[in-house]
Amino acid sequence: MKNKKLYFSIIAIIATWLLLPYHVKRALTYWYPEIKDHEIFENRTIEKSDSAYEWAFHTNYNKKGPSQAQRDTLEQYQSIAFLVIQNGSILYEEYWDDYDENSQTNSFSMAKSIVGLLIGAAIDDGYIKSLDQPVGDFLPHFKEGNNQQLTIRHLLTMSSGSNWDEKYTSPFSMTTEAYYGNDLEALVNRLEIIETPGKFFNYKSGDTQILAHLLKAATGKTLSDYTAEKLWHPLGAHSDALWSLDRENGYEKAYCCLNSNARDFALLGQLILKKGNWKGQQLINEEYIMESIRPASHLKDPKTNEAIKHYGQQWWIINQDSIQMPYARGILGQYVIAVPHKNAVIVRLGHKRSKGKINHHPSDIYTYIQAGLDIMD
């Protein structure tokens, strides 16, 4: 009898597993996202520049580092890279474990800021008329019903009002399906606008994913190819990058999952400092850059009803000592921080970040900013 019950239990478990959706099986197999997850996904290459940009080294290179308390935080959250660039020169860099300046790791949601930059490039190229152009002009799913209210600006500012489920711990959420699933197009086509867009800030990875599908429809190019054309090549990226896909030859996981190294990620911060201009060439128009890194203060926080101060257009904005700094951010503590008043960029990559937040920002980022500022002084 016991053997019979065990047999049927095993059969039931197997049957349940076989009936689970593809993304749930993958989520239960791999569980937590990791910085080397490109190894479990299909990827598309973003080719490096033919003429790589070589960072200069500051005369005080690595002469001053983080304080012991700052180092404790860097190591507590398992940092793999910490890079400080000032006036276009590397002032300090450090790598941990087996990682170095060439190591490819996942950007996670820093990729959102890259997608935001590409929208600006597409406007410059004439593929998009304006930020207030309806998304339905590009994607048929957003031509009818409440969906036709959606504009590009709503997506950039995370105010779509869509039914996207931004949960990271449930294997059944849309975010998990996007990460571990194999059909991003079908997922995007399930999205519906259920609240009036353009009123409240609600961070949703789906907003960025829609932007990526819109970019492909508008440009006729893959997101990776357009990234190479508009950013990676002209900026002089030193290494090929990889953008993880939902399946072979599929769609980029645009809200996350561009894999590169600290020095090439720093190029994005440097472009922000230069207001879109690189070596005399305006890669993205200055007005768009400045709008991207200004708070979308016309939006309200749904919990407090206060004006938004911490987010612009796919870029986070942090205030430290009354100084405003835009930055790109990933879920495991990936940060590219532009520090305009010091003409500097700070990059931190790692395995973990603080669970606590201060004014909507992970508390550990304040330590990395202060460490960078102290090194600059």
Bridge partner residues of 357 (DSSP): 362
- List pLDDT tens digits, range 353-367: 999 999 999 999 999
| CA distance linking residue 77 with residue 57, whole number of Å | 27
pLDDT of residue 181: 94
pLDDT of residue 8: 45
Say if residues 215 and 120 touch (Cβ distance below 8 Å): no
Q: Where are the beta strands (DSSP E) in the chain?
A: 42-46, 56-57, 79-86, 89-95, 105-106, 241-245, 258-260, 277-278, 281-282, 316-320, 323-330, 334-339, 344-350, 357-358, 361-362
* Torsion region of 183: left, alpha or beta (phi above 0 gives left; psi -120 to 50 gives alpha): beta
pLDDT of residue 18: 52
Q: How far is CA 302 from CA 160, 177, 178, 372, in A?
A: 13, 25, 25, 33
| CA distance linking residue 295 with residue 311, whole number of Å | 5
pLDDT of residue 5: 54
**Amino acid, res. 210:** I
Local confidence pLDDT in tens for the 377 residues of the chain: 556 555 444 454 454 545 557 777 787 777 789 999 999 999 999 999 899 999 999 999 999 999 999 999 999 999 999 999 999 999 999 999 999 999 999 999 999 999 999 999 999 999 999 999 999 999 999 999 999 999 999 999 999 999 999 988 788 899 999 999 999 999 999 999 999 999 999 999 999 999 999 999 999 999 999 999 999 999 999 999 999 999 999 999 999 999 999 999 999 999 999 999 999 999 999 999 999 999 999 999 999 999 999 999 999 999 988 889 999 999 999 999 999 999 999 999 999 999 999 999 999 999 999 999 999 97
**Amino acid, res. 375:** I
pTM of the model: 0.94
